[in-house]
Amino acid sequence: MTGRNPAGRVLSGMRPSGRLHLGHYHGVLQNWLRLQTEHDCFFFVADWHALTTEYSTPQGLRENIKEMVVDWLSAGIDPEISTIFVQSHVKEHAELMVLLSMITPLSWLERNPTYKEQLKEVKDRDLHTYGFLGYPVLQTADIIIYRAENVPVGIDQAPHLELSREIARRFNYFYGDIFPEPKTILTSSPKVLGTDGRKMSKSYNNAVYLSDPPEVVERKIRTMMTDPARKRRTDPGNPDICPVYITFHTIYSDEPTREWVRAGCTTADIGCIECKKAVIPRVLSLLEPLRKRREEILREEDMIWRILREGRDKASGVASETMKDVRKAMGLDY
Ligand code: TRP
Ligand code: SF4
């Protein structure tokens, strides 16, 4: 154990969706980077959670896991100070999920807003499965098996975390005080819009990826949608409704540059290309160190799986200790 306080342990996970984009970087990874210097952090790949929806194509998981972990590492998630692992490598998550499923009322799961929403929205596959309904039960096991107190997630995960606290409380009520109730650390993330002005997302095909080469990043920003009212160079625009401004200038430019954009755009003094050119180098310089680290990592691909196995060993140590306490508390230590 390092000198950091395990009482403040942080845990978070992501489903392996392949390459990460700037939305993931500014929304999640930057917070992880900040937290890992101050807390005992566990970051894991939620491959079983991915299967709740991708169950018909599990073959894609291996590559998606690799790509995502390469992005974590190249962004600076440091296996020397954080524990990085794959969920399915630590079988105790599944054991705890079974036990938690005994005490989780169906009504809690059925009223979960994320569940109801996904059932309505996702049309290309059948999500009326036991596993999908139990998604938050597995997520609870992921968290409390490390007795994590802090869970940094985006607002979309807040209902799941609320359920996790309820399930932990119910366990403690039946069997004794084993688990802390995990706190949600809501990560206030900037609004990251994609090249078409909608939320940046892989499924919208509008994302700038951390692994995009510089010329691709440049092309994506150069062709990015702007204020639609600026049809001609001589039309004034409004930065407040322009995705280039809302996302790129807000995140990457300094105040004088933003002032220059606001003044130039609203008077048609500057053109959109000029405006975009001002921010492109800043995006590239953020990504440059990531690109270098990525090259090093990919030169030695075995290292990725080695890091994940070492993480598994550390995580398993903690998880198996917790499970001993759990079995004992429930009288299952025969
Ligand atoms: N459900 C989370 C997501 O989709 C991933 C996840 C699984 C998670 N288990 C977790 C996040 C435990 C935090 C803690 O992003
Ligand atoms: Fe957007 Fe800049 Fe063009 Fe104004 S000048 S519409 S802020 S890209």
- Walk me through the domains of the chain, giving residue ranges and CATH numbers: 10-192+301-329 (3.40.50.620), 212-293 (1.10.240.10)
**Ligand 2 centre distance from Cα of residue 20 (Å):** 26
pLDDT in tens, 131-149: 999 999 999 999 999 999 9
What are the two backbone dihedrals, phi and then psi, of residue 269, each rounded to the nearest 5 degrees? -75, -35
pTM: 0.94
Is residue 190 very low, low, confident or very high in pLDDT (cuts 50, 70, 90)?
confident
Q: Check pocket membership of 210 for ligand 1, CB cut-off 6 A.
A: no
Q: Whose CA is nearest to atom 3 of ligand 2?
A: 272
The pLDDT score that the predictor gives to residue 154 is: 84
Torsion angle of C-alpha atoms 266, 267, 272, 276, degrees rounded to 10 = -70
Q: How far apart are CA 246 and CA 226, in angstroms?
A: 10
Ligand nearest to the CA of 279: 2
pLDDT in tens, 16-35: 998 999 999 999 999 999 99
Q: Does 154 or 110 have the greater pLDDT score? A: 110
**Ligand 2 centre distance from Cα of residue 207 (Å):** 19
| Residue of 221, 223, 230, 249 to test ligand 2 pocket, by largest number of atoms within 8 Å of CB | 230
Nearest atom in ligand 2 to 239's CA: 7
Is residue 3 very low, low, confident or very high in pLDDT (cuts 50, 70, 90)?
very low
**Ligand 2 centre distance from Cα of residue 187 (Å):** 28
Q: Whose CA is nearest to atom 7 of ligand 2?
A: 239
**Ligand 2 centre distance from Cα of residue 26 (Å):** 22
- Checking if the pLDDT of 200 tops 60, the result is yes
The pLDDT score that the predictor gives to residue 151 is: 96
Q: Name which of 167, 280, 265, 278 is nearest 215 in CA terms.
A: 280
The first and second tokens of residue 252, run together, are 């990457």
Ligand nearest to the CA of 275: 2
- Checking if the pLDDT of 2 tops 60, the result is no
The first and second tokens of residue 215, run together, are 């010329």
Protein residues whose CB sits closer than 6 Å to any atom of ligand 2: 226-227, 230, 237, 239, 242, 244-245, 261, 265, 270, 272, 275-276
Alpha-carbon Rg for the chain, nearest whole angstrom, is 22
Amino acid at 268: A
The pLDDT score that the predictor gives to residue 156 is: 86
Collapsed DSSP state (helix, strand, coil) of residue 16: coil
Nearest atom in ligand 2 to 275's CA: 2
Q: How far apart are CA 199 and CA 201, in angstroms?
A: 6
Q: Check pocket membership of 142 for ligand 1, CB cut-off 6 A.
A: yes
Q: Whose CA is nearest to atom 4 of ligand 2?
A: 265
CB atoms within 10 A of CB 251: 17
**Ligand 1 centre distance from Cα of residue 44 (Å):** 9
- Checking if the pLDDT of 248 tops 50, the result is yes
**Ligand 2 centre distance from Cα of residue 291 (Å):** 28
